[in-house]
Chains A and B, each alone.
Chain A
Amino acid sequence: MLREEELKTFVDGTTRYFEVAAQQPATIGSPYLLEGEPAMHDYTGMINISGKREGVVYFTAPRAMLTVLLMKMQESDFSHESMRDLVGEVANTISGNARRDFGHDFVISVPSVFAGEKPQLAQPSGARAFVIPIHWRSHSAKLVVSLT
């Protein structure tokens, strides 16, 4: 069973990104369990985890949110590639936070990024996914944690 501290590590990694990159912290909404197919926004950054826990953690955000985020980061390039890079960076920050807190217990992959297309999720059987809404300004993204 996933522990609260582990879940918090992923949540903190995500909210911290907003705080550092855009100088405006994100808040989290009411967490819930994912039912059925995972709901994806326009861009998704994902890391695969193995070792003590197995599964995936991904951050998925709508294009509008990423655009404002890039603006706040004083970026002027709002291309498809910039959006992909951005969700990749968020996934990377989540990964860094997990490495910091869990050390070698977790083997974490390089982030993979999906845009538009439905990602191939290596979701472990028996693991339920936790969805944590990430609110930033008027936008909402999702952090999904599915680990055994």
Chain B
Amino acid sequence: MRLSGTDRSRRLLTAGAGIVFAAVMSLVLIIGFRLATEIRASVGALQRASELETYPSVVSEQLTALRERLDTLEYTGHVHAELAGSIRGFNRDLAALERQPGLDPAAMHAAAALWRSYAGVLTPVLAYDGEPYSDTATTSSLSRSGRVFYAHVRRAELFAQTHAAALHRQLATVSASLQAGTAAAAARLRLLLSGGVLAVLLLGLAAAYLQLARSRGERAAREAQEQTRDILATVREGFFLLDADYRIGAVWSQALTHMFARQDFAGLSFEELLRDKVPPETLATATKFIKLLWGERAHENLMKSINPLGQLEVSMDNGRGGKETRYLQFDFHRVMGPKGIKHVLCAVGDITSSVLLSRELHEAQENAHSQLDMMVGMLHSDPLQIGAFLDSASAGLKHINAILKEPARNHAEFSKKLAGLARELHSLKGEASALNLMSIAQRVHHLEDMVAELKGRSELTGNDFLPLVLKLDELLAHLRGVREMTLRLSSLKGGTPAPEGTLSTPILRLGANGPEELASTLHSLARKLAQDHGKDFMLTLNGLADCPRAYLPTVKDCLIQMLRNAAVHGIEPDAVRRAGAKSGTGQVRVDFRRVESGYEMLFEDDGAGLLPEALKEAAVRRNILTPQQAAQLDNRATLALIFKPGFSTRTEVSMDAGRGAGMDVVAKAVYGLGGKIGVSTNPGRYTRFKIALPAASETAVA
């Protein structure tokens, strides 16, 4: 837990006050102990001094009692012993008192000197241990030693009577000095105790103040905590902190529980949070990004711009045992500390509604744009021509549906469908482009993308075709819309409305207006291609009027594809043409004529021609040939590569080229009529296709 500056100061103050309190109390106790010991010793000494004060008179009285007993010839032994005890006691107490510090040294010295003068008279008294009396049968009297003893006693009595008062005074002075010392010590102790009590009081007040401040701080912290809890419980975004191990911290907003359908997040790693909710690749990317966030070198704004979790599609339990798709927006902010990045704050928003809404809006806009484009395209085209295209498209889609309907249970059978689908779609796109119906062409292009993607898969099942059939349905619905619009336009123009065809019942036949319509379509397509690809070329059509109606749809398909190829691959950009000493305007020429065996169509452009080495390289690149096979091909076989399905020299797919389906469509269409197709070229000069078709009557064409 991190402490604020105020909290830290408060804690320091509390610790300081505690230390001061302990120090003061220790000092008071130590000094108090010493003073108490001193007072105790002084009191002992005082007692001893008081006792000493009584000794002079006691000794004097004992000497008088001893003398009186000698006068009356009574037994003196016990009085003599008591005197000896008093003298011993006096000596002991005086010696002890002399060791006591704080005495008045002069008084003590005088008392000791005076007592020492007692010794001269007392010593002979105390030293006597004989029998002072001599008894006869009738009388008793002092013995000779008794008389000497008596004289000593009498002398000592007189000495004591003379000096007892002085000795007492000296001892009283000593007592007084001791008393004064004890009183001073007691006063110091009182002062000390008062000081200690005052210090404790002050420290108590300080502790109370600090406690009060702490309570205030804690209350504020509790309130702040409560507010944070309320915010986290109410906010609609999911908030949490990630630590350096990419794990979620102990605090998070309640919204997360709804977003991720779980209750506990503390300690959960970011990877665990998203596992099973996003595909493994997305999870790997997300984890990498999170790691990058901890790199201090990476600029935060730059990181934001490359955030792969800005709109993350997640699969969540829907609470009914199923899954639902939701969109989450993750935003990351670094939380910096003194030593660098401390945490990463993650804000998560559920943007499902806005994503779906914007998707719907986008689709609506797209639809509006495509309808407008379609309308513009249709206004520039003949309604009958569009009607014919729609019928052709319906027939094409019917064929596509028939391909899909063919039973398939394994990869090979599913894979086989894809080539046929690609051909049909490419042909359909070519026709739509020729009529400038770009909304249709784009939809078909998208379908082609899906087919191309499926071609690349190593294992195919029916599930893989579900998106395709849905797109096909969408395309059919779009074609229905186009047809309805055509009918409305026709009625606006006052023409005969073209009746509605269906997937199964095409009504208008392609080429209803014959070769003129075909010529018009091709010229229109040529203009569009020239504009789209920045090429300048002129299309010349000869003899199309000789084309039998039965061949018109196939001829149209072939010419559309060849014209697109010529525009994309053949005709060079203006600068290249001029550098090659050619005219800036390219020439594309179609000659259709009747011949003995039937019909012949020549298609020629004066463009770059076909480069055998480039064709071989493309075939190897697209895995149509191995490098060894390519090396062994002769010129003729090399040129024939362009009719292989999936062959294209382009590395990128565009609306007009790159799928490798164009010339495949042409060849299949020609072979379908029992015809032949050949190609010749002069690199840098021209490419020429020669198509031979049998007489129309010999072939049944639908």
CB within 8 Å of B: which residues of A? 1-5, 7-8, 11, 27-33, 35-36, 97, 99-101, 103, 128, 130-133, 135, 140
Contacts and interface: CB of A to CB of B under 8 A. Distances in A.
Given A1-B474, A5-B325, A35-B398, A30 B406 contact: yes
B503 A33 contact: yes
Given A5-B325, A35-B503, A101 B318 contact: yes
A147 B451 CA distance: 25
Given A1-B470, A35-B504, 9 more contacts: A7-B470, A27-B461, A30-B405, A30-B413, A31-B465, A33-B476, A35-B503, A101-B323, A128-B473
B414 interface: yes
A28 B407 contact: no
29 contacts: A1-B470, A1-B477, A4-B467, A4-B470, A7-B466, A30-B405, A30-B406, A30-B465, A31-B404, A31-B465, A31-B466, A31-B469, A32-B401, A32-B404, A33-B401, A33-B503, A35-B401, A36-B504, A99-B320, A101-B320, A101-B322, A128-B473, A128-B476, A128-B477, A130-B470, A131-B405, A132-B462, A132-B466, A133-B407
B409 interface: yes
Contacts of B544: none
B531 interface: no
A94 to B, nearest CB: 13
B387 to A, nearest CB: 21
Contact of B469 (A3, A5, A27, A33): A33
A61 B406 CA distance: 18
Interface string B387-421: 00000000000100100111111000110010000
4 nearest interchain CB pairs? Answer: A28-B462, A100-B322, A32-B404, A101-B322
Interface of B: 318, 320-325, 398, 401, 404-409, 413-414, 417, 461-463, 465-467, 469-470, 472-474, 476-477, 503-504
Given A11-B463, A30-B417, A32-B401, A1 B504 contact: no
A103 B332 CA distance: 34
Nearest to B470: A4
Contacts of A30: 404-408, 413-414, 417, 462, 465
A135 B409 contact: yes
Contacts of B503: 33, 35
A132 B472 CA distance: 14
A143 to B, nearest CB: 11
A100 B318 contact: yes
Contacts of B323: 101
Nearest to B408: A30
B466 A103 contact: no
Contact of B318 (A2, A29, A103, A128): A103
Nearest to B462: A28
B474 A28 contact: no
A113 to B, nearest CB: 25
A86 to B, nearest CB: 22
Nearest to A132: B462
A29 B320 contact: no
A135 B325 CA distance: 29
Contacts of A3: 470
Contacts of A36: 504
Contacts of B409: 27, 29, 135
B336 to A, nearest CB: 43
Contacts of A128: 473, 476-477
A118 B466 CA distance: 27
B406 A1 contact: no
Contacts of A1: 470, 473-474, 477
Which residue of A4, A11, A27, A30 has the most chain B CB atoms within 10 A of its CB atom?
A30
Contacts of B477: 1, 128
Contact of B320 (A8, A32, A103, A131): A103
A103 B319 CA distance: 9
A11 B407 contact: no
A32 B323 CA distance: 26
Contacts of B324: 101
Contact of A29 (B322, B462, B470): B462
A99 B324 CA distance: 12
A11 B466 contact: yes
Contacts of A2: 470, 473
B326 to A, nearest CB: 13
B132 to A, nearest CB: 136
A28 B461 contact: yes
A36 to B, nearest CB: 6
Contacts of B406: 30
Contact of A31 (B321, B322, B398, B462): B462
Contacts of B404: 30-33
Contacts of A99: 320
A103 B323 CA distance: 11
A132 B496 CA distance: 40
Given A101-B318, A103-B320, A133 B473 contact: no
Which residue of B408, B409, B474 has the most chain A CB atoms within 10 A of its CB atom?
B409
A27 B462 contact: yes
Contacts of B473: 1-2, 33, 128, 130
Contact of A32 (B321, B405, B413, B463): B405
Contacts of A100: 318, 320-322
Nearest to B407: A29
Contacts of B472: 33
Contacts of B408: 29-30
A100 B463 CA distance: 20
Contacts of A29: 407-409, 462
B491 to A, nearest CB: 22
Nearest to A127: B473
A5 B323 CA distance: 10
Contact of A4 (B320, B322, B398, B466): B466
A13 to B, nearest CB: 11
A7 to B, nearest CB: 6
B389 to A, nearest CB: 20
Contacts of B465: 30-31
A35 B407 CA distance: 16
A7 B321 CA distance: 18
Nearest to A3: B470
A86 B321 CA distance: 24
A147 B190 CA distance: 104
A11 B406 CA distance: 19
A97 B320 CA distance: 10
Contacts of A135: 409
A35 B399 CA distance: 12
Nearest to B402: A32
A130 B469 contact: yes
A97 B322 CA distance: 8
Contacts of A27: 409, 461-462
A40 to B, nearest CB: 16
B405 A8 contact: no
A28 B463 contact: yes
A16 to B, nearest CB: 12
A35 B402 CA distance: 10
A14 to B, nearest CB: 12
Contacts of A133: 407, 462
A2 B398 CA distance: 20
Nearest to A36: B504
A42 B461 CA distance: 26
